[in-house]
Structure 1
Amino acid sequence: MKIIHSFWSKPSLDKSIERFEDRKMGGWLDKKYNYMSWALSCLQFKKHYGFIELVTDNEGKKLFIDKLNLPYDSVRVELDIYNNYHPDLWAISKLHSYTLQNEPFLHVDGDVYIWKILDKVNNKPLIAQNEDIDFKYYTTVWNDIILNFEYIPTYMMSDYQREPSIHSCNAGIFGGSDVNFLKEFAFEAFEFLEKNKAHYDKVNLGSTVLIYEQYLFSCLARAKNKKVSFLFDSMTSSYDKITQFASIPNRRHYVHAVGNAKKKFVACENLANRLLFEYPDFYYNILALIEKNEI
């Protein structure tokens, strides 16, 4: 299955942006951990799948290819067309990458790392990391959107009325073999964002990713009677099961540094130490580039 990373530089690297601080440097405690995270994710997926594609913009190519020397097999410089979009809409890089695909794929976030092939979800029509069921922060964001956004697809409102305890998904890994539906979803998400553009200032725009990326996909899949397969059958809202580096790689084979995990010093140092252990050349290159103020 084709593996994809996507990186839009504006939300995390644009120094002129003062809003939504959590997206600066990908939400990590320090920029070095952000670079190390992308490196470890790329290298581990490359190791186990043999091929990984990067969808990015010009700044992303300069960073990942020209400076970090990450071994992407394909680089598609596509995302500069979104430079006029609000930087809090950071997941549009992922949506765009879905529209480019014509074969089964898995998009993986730059804070996801593996130590074996993801056999459980390979070649399934639709794939996500796990199902999010009745997490309170979804309800908070959804209520804000209902109150302030003008356009909400009928199938989303119907889904919520049928099941007010929101059933969504985490897209840390996301994709499948039903490429046509995945493209349809991406275009639906862009339409949702475009039709509500006049109301962005009324909501916490960074948090709406829960709705336009994850809940919208889940509602559309149910409306079309599409089955979604999950890598993990159950998960708490803290995601403790997948944020720990302990027991890697003997008992654990998957880590996703989701949410507040990036803010924990121990997790950051575990990430750095894992990159140092497995790929020392990339570790020291990152430190040297930072020392020389080149990244």
Structure 2
Amino acid sequence: MKTESINIVQSYWSKSYQSNQPNFGWYNKAYHYMSWTLSCLKLSQFYKHVNLVTDTPGAELLIGKLNLPYTSVSCELDKLSNCDEKLWTLGKLRAYAIQEKPFIHVDGDVFIWNKFPDELERAPLVAQNDEVEYPYNFEVMKILVDSGFIFPEGVKTVRPIIESNAGILGGCDIDFFKFYAEQTSYFIKVNEERIKNLQGDTATINTVLEQYLFHELAAQKGVPVAHYFKQNITFRNFDIFNRFASIPHEVQYLHALGCYKSRQETGARIARCLWYEFPEYYDKLADLIKNKIL
């Protein structure tokens, strides 16, 4: 049964998708489109309000070509046309900032087979899970500290480094998201030259900008964060996000994280789910790809 209890939001900044990793990080482009299609359709099974924040090319793709059933579409991300596309999280941050009602933002590589638990829908803040002392996160933070990055007042930069995974991110505390938007904007502005001068890929700061600052600012404000996964997730049990063989009875939530996204088997499993549950969308996608419209 669909519920009206909370708004679901997805965001798609086409400039970032088109300019970054080959095939948008997927094994091939077809799996990227199938992922967005399956993600939206599964959300629409359980929620009456699934809203899209995108730019004009994104709307042409997801609405015009894929015909995904979003409740509303905003081209707010057209305002990011002059921004650095390597900072892919800017699209998500903007989508968070413009929300005026309780919401849960869901990435386009997250799939659900049940509505979110009631305690998540009622929580002040929501995230997928805590990432406690992940080596990559610590290494990126060290690079930023060594490069002299300036952080918002009160945000610590010492271990333990904990980030809130933003596969889902949202909550009922809209005032916090206004504060969060101010602080992330400050971080970008005050570090503009440092970001440009980063050795290697400037995209490395995305998770710090979105996930680390979210966790630290929530802690600073004393706002509790509810998590979909309450257990400690390490690389030993990381496959909890990719258990396609266990849906829908044992597992109702999957997230094709970066380490899974590039694998052919992950894309094939998504394709199989789309073909089985939404054959008309699968056939349409196949035709669009065959005729080189996508």
Query: Shorter-chain TM-score category?
Result: over 0.9
Deviations 1:88-129 (A, max 9, x none): 111111110111111100000000000001114111000000
Counterpart of 2:172 in structure 1: which amino acid? Answer: S
Check whether the contact 1:243–1:255 (CA below 8 A) recurs between aligned residues. yes
Check whether the contact 2:120–2:226 (CA below 8 A) recurs between aligned residues. yes
What does residue range 198-277 of structure 1 map to in structure 2 within 5 Å? 198-200=193-195, 201-203=197-199, 204-233=201-230, 234-237=232-235, 239-277=238-276
Number of residues of Structure 1 aligned to a counterpart in Structure 2: 284
- Who is 1:104 aligned against? 102
Deviations 1:64-92 (A, max 9, x none): 00100000010001111111111111111
Q: Does 1:10 align with 2:22?
A: no
Tell me the C-alpha RMSD between the 2 structures.
1.4
- Who is 1:33 aligned against? 31
Deviations 1:161-196 (A, max 9, x none): 4xx121221010000000110121122112211221
Aligned partners of 1:283 and 1:291: how far apart in 2? 12
Check whether the contact 1:244–1:267 (CA below 8 A) recurs between aligned residues. no
SS at match of 1:127: strand
Identity of aligned residues (%): 36
- Who is 2:173 aligned against? 178
Counterpart of 2:247 in structure 1: which amino acid? Answer: I
- Who is 1:188 aligned against? 183
Q: Does 1:44 align with 2:42?
A: yes
TM-score by length of 2: 0.93
Counterpart of 1:226 in structure 2: which amino acid? Answer: V
Query: Unaligned 5+ residue runs, structure 2?
Result: 1-5
What does residue range 104-183 of structure 1 map to in structure 2 within 5 Å? 104-119=102-117, 120-157=119-156, 160-161=157-158, 164-183=159-178
Check whether the contact 1:4–1:54 (CA below 8 A) recurs between aligned residues. yes
Check whether the contact 1:131–1:230 (CA below 8 A) recurs between aligned residues. yes
Check whether the contact 2:27–2:267 (CA below 8 A) recurs between aligned residues. yes
Deviations 1:20-39 (A, max 9, x none): 52xx4331110000000000
Check whether the contact 1:55–1:76 (CA below 8 A) recurs between aligned residues. yes
SS at match of 1:156: coil
SS at match of 2:282: helix
- Tell which deviates more after alignment, 233-242 or 216-225: 233-242
* Change in 2 beyond 3 A, CA 1:291/1:126: same
TM-score by length of 1: 0.93
